Amino acid sequence: MMSPFLACLSPEGDVELSQYLAGWRELLRFLTPLGSVFPFATSEAFVKVTTLEVCILGPAALHYESLANMATWERQAELLELQGTAPRDQARASGSRTLLLSLRALRWSQLCLHRVATGTLGGPDAGVQCGDAYSTALAEHHPWLIRQAACLAILALPSRGCLLQLACPGTRQADARVALAQAARVLDDVYNRTQSLLTRHCLLQLA
């Protein structure tokens, strides 16, 4: 799962979009069996990934090889949304805005994996920690009804032990924790690189 995310971090400091999206596809496949809150929260990410794939495979594919190329070209071509506005048709959103939205879901996923991996015995259960992660990464960007639905889905999350077993079937809990912690570190690297590039190109105001 982590191979394409590692590959998306180019030595030049950019983010290769095809590898980023390949990583997301694997992450979605990994998260879906873990409990109702994961497909609930990542269903939006699935739409964003599909929308971005249309860009990197479309007639302007040359401009969508990396985040920096995309940001520069979309600004020059006046494809970026005005601050405070949202496209009526999400399929017609700029690639830069779509990437920003997918990055927030990536942050939530990274926080959940990290907290499930590192939570201590007797500490907050996985559901509480994933709920905190949702509040940190996504809640402020969602309307009230979606926030309430997310809270209900989080209540249905299995225990930390069950999540570890679902994530790494047939392995010892200690080994599963190590694997999830490693995955969370890779996602953190991808998040930080992408967030830094979006900031540098003044794209955080798009959504």
pLDDT in tens, the chain (207 residues): 899 999 999 999 999 999 999 999 999 888 877 766 666 667 778 888 999 999 999 999 999 999 999 999 999 999 998 766 666 666 678 999 999 999 998 998 899 899 888 886 566 677 777 888 887 887 777 778 777 877 777 777 778 888 888 888 899 999 999 999 999 999 999 999 999 999 999 999 887
Q: Which structural domain range is residue 23 located in? A: 2-206
pLDDT of the residue at 121: 59
> What pLDDT does 141 receive?
76
Q: By CB neighbour count within 10 A (0-12 exposed, 13-18 middle, 19+ buried), where does 165 fall?
A: middle
pLDDT at res. 120: 67
CA–CA separation, 134 vs 111, rounded Å?
9
- Write the CATH number for 119: 1.10.3520.10
Q: What is the pLDDT of residue 184?
A: 95
Residue type, 187: L
Nearest to 6, CA basis, from 196, 133, 175, 182: 182
Q: Are 184 and 114 in contact (CB under 8 A)?
A: yes
User: Structurally, how many domains does the chain consist of?
Assistant: 1
* Amino acid 95: pLDDT: 94
Instruction: Please tell me the distance from the alpha carbon of residue 27 to that of residue 121, in angstroms, as a whole number.
Output: 27
